Structure formats: structure tokens, C-alpha cells
Amino acid sequence: MKKSWIIAMREVKERIGSRSYILFSIFGPLIILGLVYLLFIFGGNQAEKWNVLVTDKAGILENKMMPHPDPNVTYSFANDYIDHKDFADGKRYQQFDAMIEINEKVLSNKISHAFYRTKPSFNLQTTVQYHIERRLEEVMIGRFTDLSVAKFREVKQPIKFSFRNVYDPYDQTSDVRTWVGFFFGLIILVFIALFGMTILRSMTSEKSNRIVEVLLATVRPQQLLFGKLSGIGFAAFIQFFIWLVVIGLGLFFMREWLFPSIYDASSMQIAELTDSGRILSVQEKLYNGKEFNAMVDLVYERVNFGVMITFFLLFFIGGYLFYGSFFAAIGSTAGTENDGQQFILPILLLLALAAYAGYYALDNPESQLTTWLHYIPFTSPVVVMVKLTAGYGPGESYQIWLSLLILLLSSFFVLLLASRLYQNGILQFGHRLRFQHIAKWLRK
């Protein structure tokens, strides 16, 4: 164990001292922060003008909305019920961007729906909800109370208002949060590919210059293999920690100074919110607050990074050991550097398949194929990250631990095979690597 530790520390010092390692540690997280900043900038830059059709069969709103027209929203009224399928496909409704249903019992059940063609920004959603809520308040005050408007708003209940895609009214498409999980999965694959290639180059280089013969004079092949995998893995963790610190500080800076939360008091227009000390609804606060950015909300409010980073590390360890063993096996059995490059293609294709599996899980999180991909060790690191952000149902949390257990057991099994190949092939030179060589060394 001591010899493996010495070899591991040698690998760590060699990796972290290289120029490519330092540059990737610095510019890698800065590039990601730059991309995140661009997403934040354009995350709220959506079309802000809506032509809305309001279906009000009972005539509750009396074909009226706000006392002063809103420049961003134009309302038209239909005193009849229109099915959302007719609105989606009917030619006479194509001029409208959305349809709002005002049901006959809206004054009692406080429920309404808006069916949109293209999802609006959060700010536009809260604007429309604010308009509907204010108009219904006026109707309720006139019909049921003798209260003043200010007094009524102190005791009112906000309406339950949902926005739905007219082509997907039951919201069956995958949640935007799953893209965060897909991104985490891709980061795992990137680190595995980069440091897996490092393992391969290190072994083929030591074989070609015969340094490995000197090393094997003092250590066993298994100790050398474990030391190399551990050392390069430690270097990967150090680099990831640097990424984590830089990206964390960058996100904190952007949150505090560039994209403050819309729910913070500092982001509200205080003069408009202190209207004679009256109590405001959440919708009114959002309507009077600064522009809401959907990407900012996704990154800062909707993703539990503590859980994501924890399972990222666990599945990175399993994935690195699993794929790293393949890289080590190829490097130890290759007779020339060209052999290693040829046999690396299948592993790269498997990594590409894992990336596609994660993309497939985005749109089909509950499919049977996704379930299989969730447990297959070649694809589980990415698929689990996607499923983790989508959320596991009640009593399904065991699935992530089962997938992790399968990945670790598979890594241990592949590591044993790689150890046998390493022991029998590390001192073989000048041969053309063939499958019969691999089969022979596995049996030996």
C-alpha cells in the first residue's frame, strides 16, 4: 500500500505541474462561467408582447380588463367556451398567442388556465395573472361586499392560475431542470475522457521508453496499476475542486451584484410597494419588481446543488474507476502507441453513447429504456444525474443507490480484469495487439 501511495503522489505531482493542467484548471471554469453569464443575459430576453383571447362564457369580466391598456398585452373577449384543441389548430385563432379560460365558477374556486403557443417570460406571466386577479377583485367587490378595495385586498385569496402549453396541456414534456442534470453528466464524461486519455498516454509512454521495467523491479504490477489510477484520480479531484471554488465564487458574485433575486427587498420598487401601507399579494410584488430571469431562477432557486455535487462525486468515482480500468487495460496491452489509439475508439463511442443516453432520458424520463440505461454502468453516471434533477417518486430513492452499487461492483470487476491484463501485458513490446492476445492474457 505504501508503494502504491508513493506512485500515486508521483502521478499527482507530475499532472498538477503540467502547463495543460494549470491552463485547464483556470480557463475551464471561466469558460463555463462565461456561458452561464450569457444564459443569464438572454434567459429573460423573450418576446414580451402578447395577443390574448379571453373566453368568458358567463360574462363575468364584462369584456373589461385593466382601466389603462398595457402596452405588452392586448386582450380580446369571446363570450363562449373554446376547447384548447380548437384554439391550437383553428385557423381563426392563430392570431392569438394565448387563450385564458374564465370558468363560470371562477369567483368561488379561484381557478383559471392560460394556454400559450410559445412559453412567455416569467415577468409576462405574472403581468397577465396580475391583470386577471385585479379585474376579478373588482367584480367580487361589486357583487359580494360593501368593503373598500384596500380592505378587500387585505382578506382576499390569490387565484390559482396556471400556464400551460396549448400543444402539451398536461405538461408531459421534461422539466428544464433536467438540463442541469444532463450538464453534470457531461462534465463527468469530460473528466473521464480527459484523465482516461492521460492514463493511456502515461502507460504507453512508460512502455516505449522502458521505464516500466525499472518500476516493476521494485513494485508489483497491481501496485503500479492502483497507484497510477489513484494518482491520476486525485489530480482529477484537485482540478474539480478548483473548478468548484471558481464557479461557486463566480455564481455568488453574479447573484449578489449582477442578477439579484426578484424576491429580495432590494430588487423591488419600494415606492410602488408601499401604497399607503396596504398588504400586497405575491403577484403584485412580482409585477412591480425587477425583470425576472428564468435562467437565474433555474440556477439559484430550482436546483439543489448540495445533493447534485454529492452524487456527482460518487458517480464520478465509480465512472472513473470503470472507464479508467478500460483505458489502463488498453495502455498495458498495446504493443505500440498506434495500437492504443486504434483500440481507444470503442471506449470513446461508449462515452458518446452515454451522452446520448442522458439526452434520451431528458425527453423520456419514465420510459422502460431509460430505466435500463439507469442501471447499465456504461450509461448510469449521466442518466442518474438527469433523473436526479427530474426527481424520484415516493419510495423510489433506492434506485439511485442501487445504480451506484451496480456501478461500483462493475468497476471492481473491470478493475480485476484490467489488473490481470496489466500484469501479463505490461512487459510485452513490439507486437500487434489482437483479441487472441487479450483472451490469452485473461486466462493466464
Q: Tens of pLDDT along 255-302?
A: 777 766 544 444 444 344 444 334 445 445 444 444 455 566 667 666
The reply to whether 45 falls in a domain is no
Q: What is the DSSP string of 272-337?
A: HH-STT----HHHHHHHBPPP-HHHHHHHHS--HHHHHHHHHHHHHHHHHHHHHHHHHHHHH-SSH
Q: Check: CB of residue 357 under 8 Å from CB of residue 186.
A: no
What is the per-residue pLDDT across 326-352, written as a single tens digit (0 to 9) for each? 888 887 776 665 655 667 888 889 999
The reply to whether 110 and 181 lie within a common domain is: no
Indicate which CATH number applies to the domain containing 58.
3.40.190.10
| Structural domain range at position 112 | 50-165
Q: Is 102 helix (H, G, I), strand (E, B) or coil?
A: coil
Domain count of the chain? 2
Q: What is the pTM of this model?
A: 0.64
Q: What is the pLDDT of residue 268?
A: 42
pLDDT tens-digit series, residues 169-221: 655 444 667 788 888 899 999 999 988 888 888 777 776 666 766 676 677 87
* Angle (CA) 158 163 168, round 5°: 150
Q: For the segment 96-133, what is each residue's pLDDT rounded down to a tens digit?
A: 999 999 988 888 888 888 999 988 876 788 788 888 88
SS3 state of residue 382: helix
Q: Are residues 300 and 202 in the same domain?
A: yes
Distance CA 330, CA 336 (A): 11
Same domain, 201 and 311: yes
Final residue belonging to a domain, choices 100, 135, 165: 165
Half-sphere exposure of 287 (CA within 13 A, CB side): 19
Per-residue pLDDT reduced to its tens digit, 407-436: 999 999 988 888 877 777 666 665 566 666
317 residue type, one letter: I
Say which residue the cell 482529477 belongs to: 236
* Amino acid symbol at 135: R
Cα–Cα distance, 194 to 178 (Å, whole number): 24
User: Over pLDDT 90: what percentage of the chain?
Assistant: 22
**What's the mean pLDDT in 35-50?**
70
Give percent of the chain above pLDDT 70. 73
Q: Dig out the grid coordinates for 427 from the structure.
A: 512487459
With b for 16 or more beta-carbon neighbours within 10 A and e for fewer, the 143-163 pattern comes to: eeeeeeeeebbeebeebebeb
pLDDT at 161: 63
Asked whether residue 32 is domain-assigned, the answer is: yes
Last residue of a domain, one of 165, 184, 204: 165
227 and 273 fall within a common domain: yes
